[in-house]
Amino acid sequence: MLALFENPRLRGGIHAEEHKTETSGVPIALDMPLPKKLYIPVQQHVGKPAEPLVKVGEKVLKGQLLAYSQGTISAPVHAPSSGLIADVLDFPAPHPSALPIRTIVIETDGLDQWTPIQKPDDPLALAAEEICALVGAAGVVGLGGAVFPSAVKLDLGRKNKIHTLLINAGECEPYLTCDDRLMQERASEIVTGIRLMLRGMGAPEATVGIEDNKPEAYLAMREACAEFTNINVVQVPTRYPMGWDRQMLRYLTGREIPADGRATDIGVVIHNVATAHAVYRAVCLNQPLITRVVTVSGSAVAKPQNVEVLIGTLISEVLDFCLVDKSRVARLIMGGPMMGDALPISEVPVVKACNGILALSEQDIEIPEVKPCIRCSTCITACPVGLLPLEMASRIRANQLDAAVDLGLKDCINCGSCSYVCPSNIPLVHYFKFASGELYKRQQMDHKSEQTKRLMDDRTQRMERIRLEQEAEARRVMEARAARAREQELAKQQAQQAQQSISEAGNKATAEEVQ
């Protein structure tokens, strides 16, 4: 009934302080000095890590393949600049844990010399498969933060019947403006990327959704798309998490992706706008994904701006370039303030997933003390998924994880809208992440105990079999021995009988002789 009063296309969401004007009017900085060393993790995507094929001491050129894609869902990584391979080691990852992952270290030679590149004459005439192959070889992944290999998505789109390519240019996280700037400055390249994607999937049309707080980007994209009638550019309301692909899809088409399915199930493929730009470079320029635009902002940043950064540059160097006062940094975040990860150290590399680096000071992140839940249900209103965060949290607090799963814990996207609006400042997302971790641990434990049980069962069976075999063997030996004994006995008896008959015969003879 209430569906009448609630816009069914736009559920939940929040409007946080945007903090976008600090960077949205400043051109993307292209003049960041070349770092002395670049640290390129072999896993910067969803799926299997890439396998290094370079050796320590080898000289590489800019754009040269460093590690190749492994398996169906994987992506290669390339050298962001020319130089020597200094090391292949485990290096802290840009992750809240900062645990080390396999990383290739390049000592740059300052020449920034490209590997020889062959540009296709007419990229838009390439066959769909060729476009996908080029995108895959360039290591393009979803640049909105999900880092799913784009070629896999394009292939999936070609195999299913796709009617719409949805380009997600929502950029709903506060502070971040990298997509905004990209659209303002490189709209025509993005549009070419979109056309290549359409061709690569055999899809008829594309829709670009841009939040209405980016009017310049919207106009630039409109202008760039003017001659292509199959690409629509539309404005969507500014309401976090509009950039959640499923939310934008629901808003633009009124349809929802099944909870157990993918966008392709309803004939849609969703790509990020920055991915479209990477596709343009991969196909038209034949350049692999070795740079990305990163928003550097936050109140501890003296020169907030977007920077085109080489993948593998240490975040600390990017901070220096943007004149960050490190003593004021209370929290360093990779990504946006809503879903980004707090980094414990700044000596970690920029990776393909890194759309923003926020250096927030104490006053930005001040979270008042936690109070008891007053059941105000603001979190329910804010949840874009339609969950009951307060009920889920109370179940988790009571360690009733199954009850929390029944309430939809696994549908939670960790967008943080509930935590953001909570007047009691309850860290709801923290609860949900904890519970998901516990569930994963439990699953692993179950798996482990299942394995152990299987091994135990196998062992018991094996032992039983051995026991039976041994018994049978023993029985056989015994029987054989018994048989032998019987035979011997028989032979003895026969011999005795024979003896007896002989002696009887002898006796007879003797008796006869006596007679």
Partner 1 sequence: MSIKPVSGPHVVAVRSVDSIMRKVIYALLPATAWGIFIFGWPALYLCAVTIFSAVLFEAVCLKLKGVAAAPYLRDGSAILTGLLVVMTLPPWAPWWIGVVGAAIAIILGKQVYGGLGQNVFNPAMLARVALLISFPIEMTTWVNVKPILLGPGIMESLSITFSGLSDLDGVTGATTLGAVKTGFSVHQTLPGLLHDYSAILAFIGWERGSLGETSTLLILLGGLWLIRDGIIKWQIPASLLLSIALLSSLFHLIDSQHYLGPWVHLNSGAVMLVAFFIATDYVTSPNTPVGQVIFGAGCGALIFIIRSWGGYPEGTGFAILLMNAVTPLIDHYIRPRIYGRYRNGKPIDVS
What are 139's two structure tokens?
């290591």
Nearest distance in Å: CB 319, partner 1: 10
Q: Quick one: tokens of 287?
A: 């350049």
Site string for partner 1, 164-183 (x = CB under 8 A): ----------x---------
Q: What is d(CA 107, CA 93) in angstroms, rounded to the nearest whole number? A: 19
**Tokens 């905004």 correspond to what residue?**
180
In contact, 339 and 429? CB cutoff 8 Å? no
The letter for the amino acid at 253 is: T
Nearest distance from C-beta of residue 444 to partner 1, angstroms: 21
Tell me which DSSP letter residue 391 carries: H
Residue 376 binds to partner 1 (criterion: CB under 8 A): yes
360 near partner 1, judged by CB under 8 A: yes
Tell which positions 89-108 bind partner 1, by CB under 8 A.
96-97
The burial of 448, by beta-carbon neighbours within 10 Å (0-12 exposed, 13-18 middle, 19 or more buried), is given as: exposed
**Where do runs of H (alpha helix) occur along 104-263?**
128-137, 150-159, 178-201, 215-225, 245-253
Examine residue 252 and tell whether it contacts partner 1 (CB under 8 A): no
Q: Which is nearer to partner 1, 5 or 514 (CB)?
A: 5
Fill in the per-residue mask, 10 to 49: x = in contact with partner 1 (CB under 8 A), - = not in contact. Answer: -x--x-xx--------------------------------
Candidates 182, 322, 385, 435; binder of partner 1 (CB under 8 A) is: 385
Which residues from 430-469 bind partner 1, rule CB under 8 A?
Answer: 430, 433
Residue 333 makes contact with partner 1 by CB under 8 A: yes
Residue 92 CB, nearest approach to partner 1 (Å): 13
Which listed residue (99, 125, 367, 514) binds partner 1 by CB under 8 A?
Answer: 367
The contact mask relative to partner 1 for 105-144 (x = CB under 8 A, - = no) is ----------------------------------------
**Whole-number minimum distance, CB 146 to partner 1, in Å?**
16
User: Binder to partner 1 among 125, 372, 511, 512 (CB under 8 A)?
Assistant: 372
Residue 375 as a binder of partner 1 (CB under 8 A): the answer is: yes
Query: Which of 256, 308, 320, 438: binder of partner 1 (CB under 8 A)?
Result: 256
Cis peptide before 241 (omega within 30 of 0): yes
Neighbouring-strand partners of residue 359: 332
Measure the CA dihedral 493/498/499/503, to 10°: 140
- DSSP secondary structure letter of residue 82: -
**Which listed range, 132-140, 176-184, 324-332, 491-499, lies at the site for partner 1 (CB under 8 A)?**
324-332
Question: Parallel, antiparallel, or unpaired for β 305-310 and 341-343?
Answer: unpaired
The residue written with tokens 């029987």 in the block is 479
Q: How far is CA 79 from CA 60, 220, 274, 324, 357, in A?
A: 7, 32, 20, 27, 22
**Total chain residues near partner 1 (CB under 8 A):** 77
Exactly one of 90, 216, 223, 265 binds partner 1 (CB under 8 A); that residue is 265
